[in-house]
Chains A and B, each alone.
Chain A
Amino acid sequence: MGDFKFAKDKLAEVVGALKDYEVFAPAAVGDVLRFKEVEDASSVSFDFKNTNVPPKELMFPETETLFKFRVGKTDIEPAVPDESKKRLVFGIRPCDAMAYTIVEKLYSWDYPDPYFEKRRESSVLFGLACSEPVPNCFCTSLGGGPGSEQGLDALMFDLGETVYVKTITDAGDTVAKAMGLEAAADAEKKAAAAQEKDALGKIKRSIDTEGIPEKLPSLYDHPFWEQFSDRCLSCGICTFLCPTCHCFDIQDEMEAFDGRRARMWDTCMFPEYTLHTSGHNPRPTRKERTRNRISHKYSYFPEKFDVIACVGCGRCINYCPVNIDILDILEKSKQAEAKEAKTA
């Protein structure tokens, strides 16, 4: 595909040139960043590490309507997103784009999920390579990296005054041309390669995942989980802010005569998640819930879909209020002796 560039001070013009796209980019409320639809192209900036809330919400919103109905009526009006308008996700980090490629496997599994798929199909992803990884980034352990192209249509490198744009797919190429970008020279390519190498060196944390998916089931009853679960708050931070966590609840909501069936993010860390109506809870304590979160990502998901459901973005570590550190858990799981575990 192509190599393009633009001057960084022309960022607003480049984004503004796209009339046929809904553009989504990181936007700040105070210190909190999340992807929002761009209303004013001049607000788009490359001056961020990563968003607090991952852009999974662009494919799988916090709350979305599945269908609508009216009291006493039996007509059901589906609310599948309109795919006629193309969407451009601008400035997505490589880890978050890679997360789409993982979650996609589940959403397209057997019963394709039209809500996720319609959004995903109509989205063009313009990634922004990382020059300053944060202290808990460990994407390189999961097959990603500061310049990873997985899931992306184009990857941008912020080289200071110039932005180098490498297009990866036809869709990326089309957008680059619509933006009116000029061709890049070897100088930009070299600078981008140097930046990627430099960024790789700044990733300090890692885990060797070899053997973990196979080993975790043998640690089912192992006491080591309690080292972490004993201080777990059972809150939703680690899962809601995880770009690969995809679980949801479904609820019916009424507004006078209008009703909707909606789905919203849910988390295996809440006790209500698995609570039976009878009062029985198969995962009654934080130990079972912590084990399920880690096992789902690092064992159950890879068993089903051949890929670990983690991209190493570090959010669950960064935002955990009680320092439950997934890398620490995984390291301890590697050290734990399966024979210490009681047999089930």
Chain B
Amino acid sequence: MMDESNPYLPYIVNIEDAWYETPVGDRAVKTFKVNFKDEKVWDTWSHKPGNCAMVGRLGIGESMFCISSSPTEEGYLRFSIMQAGKVTSALHDLEAGDTMTVRGPLGNSFPMEEWEGKNILSIGGGIGQAPLRPVINYVRANKDKYGNLSVLYGARTSDLHCFKSEFQEYQEEGTECHLAIDIEEEGWKNFVGFVPDLLLDVAPSPDNTIAVTCGPPILIKFVTQGLERLGFTADQIYTTLEERMKCGIGKCGRCNVGSLYVCKDGPVFSYATLKEIPEAFA
């Protein structure tokens, strides 16, 4: 936090670079690479894969986004933001050289230490890849601590794939990588179908494996079912939840699912936890 005594005050960050991941237009995804205006912030800043931050513009407001860069990527933070409402539209108007506000890191994180020694399976759809990217990059940077890394990812069309060039890097490094699109496209040589279908097609083994999934609620629902069918137990499956948020620190009330605040007790939950909360999938 900018000021230990006041969790509502944001940091000012400079946008060092900004680019579109998907074609410009409604619901486009734009990535911002930012650095703190006051570089001293790095001395106290520490985040983990899964952590979020309130990103905003003074005069418009802030919204919660996952930090899409891994702490192993030093010297900057990345946010990949889909244009949808008032705040995201205003953020999309920003370019390199502009400033925005960041308040964080907030929420819990993926239990990366607990997962050491295990295979990591990432299953993402659309913008849902954003919280998975730091997990993937964290594992890539700590190869010796983890087993195999495999990445499954899909979007409606190949245009809508985020982080395209990075999947090539993963493959070049020897990471098992499966891409999918929903609808047949000319020149597409990979899987055609929804991500849950891709999962069943690839049929990864549950042995000593943690599956992390993120995407639209419908994807999470069917991927989870698919994983269970493949023999994954509820405590081997992790996902992130999304709710409307304002404070990000468990005060303003709106993001609760049952007695848990997604902003503070989440966004990362194991499926074992979520199964006990009927509201989690509302």
The chain A residues found within 8 Å of chain B, CB to CB, are: 66-67, 69, 71, 74, 76, 78, 80, 106-107, 109-115, 217, 220-221, 246-252, 254, 259, 261, 263, 266, 268, 273-278, 280, 282-283, 288, 292, 295-296, 299-301, 303-304, 344
Contact = CB atoms under 8 A, between A and B. Distances in A.
Contacts of A113: 7, 251
Contacts of A292: 256
Given A76-B2, A248-B251, 14 more contacts: A78-B6, A106-B250, A112-B5, A246-B251, A246-B253, A250-B8, A250-B246, A259-B59, A261-B61, A273-B244, A278-B84, A282-B282, A299-B259, A301-B259
A124 B195 CA distance: 60
B253 A110 contact: no
16 contacts: A76-B10, A78-B9, A106-B251, A111-B1, A111-B250, A111-B251, A114-B5, A248-B251, A250-B246, A250-B247, A259-B58, A266-B246, A266-B252, A273-B244, A283-B282, A295-B258
Contacts of B178: none
B114 interface: no
Contact of B278 (A221, A251, A254): A221
A69 B59 contact: yes
A141 to B, nearest CB: 22
Interface of B: 1-3, 5-10, 12, 37, 56, 58-62, 84-85, 88, 99, 217, 242-244, 246-247, 249-254, 256-259, 264, 278-279, 282
A247 B255 CA distance: 11
A268 B254 contact: yes
A274 B279 contact: no
Nearest to A278: B84
Interface centre among A66, A74, A110, A304 (most CB of B within 10 A): A74
A300 B259 contact: yes
A80 B249 CA distance: 17
A80 B7 CA distance: 12
A220 B259 contact: no
Contact of B246 (A69, A71, A249, A268): A249
A336 B5 CA distance: 46
B254 A274 contact: yes
Contact of B9 (A76, A259, A274, A280): A76
Nearest to A258: B59
Contacts of A344: 278
Given A78-B6, A114-B5, A252 B249 contact: no
A251 B61 contact: yes
A111 B58 contact: no
Contacts of A299: 259
Nearest to A74: B12
Contacts of B246: 248-250, 263, 266
Contact of B254 (A67, A110, A273, A304): A273
A113 B247 CA distance: 11
A250 B61 contact: yes
A76 B244 CA distance: 25
A110 B249 contact: yes
B216 to A, nearest CB: 9
A266 B254 contact: yes
Nearest to B216: A278
A60 B266 CA distance: 26
A74 B243 CA distance: 29
Contacts of B61: 250-252, 261
B269 to A, nearest CB: 15
A66 B252 CA distance: 14
B130 to A, nearest CB: 15
B279 A110 contact: no
Q: For the complex of A and B, list the 5 residue pairs with the smallest distance between their C-beta atoms, beginning with the closest.
A: A247-B253, A344-B278, A277-B85, A300-B259, A111-B7
B250 to A, nearest CB: 6
B88 A277 contact: yes
Contact of A296 (B8, B56, B249, B256): B256
A259 B57 CA distance: 11
A266 B254 CA distance: 9
B8 A67 contact: yes
A139 B62 CA distance: 39
Given A76-B9, A266-B254, A282-B279, A248 B247 contact: yes
Contacts of B243: 274, 276, 282
B250 A78 contact: no
Contacts of A220: 278-279
Contacts of B256: 292, 296, 300
A107 B251 contact: yes
B258 A247 contact: no
B282 A288 contact: yes
Contacts of A263: 246-247, 252
Given A110-B264, A259-B58, A303-B259, A266 B84 contact: no
Contacts of B250: 106, 109-111
Contact of A74 (B9, B99, B242, B249): B99
A274 B246 CA distance: 10
B60 A252 contact: yes
B258 A277 contact: no
Given A220-B278, A261-B8, A300-B258, A252 B58 contact: yes
Nearest to B27: A278
Given A110-B264, A111-B7, A252-B58, A275 B247 contact: no
A303 B265 CA distance: 14
B90 to A, nearest CB: 10
A112 to B, nearest CB: 8
Interface centre among B60, B243, B282 (most CB of A within 10 A): B282
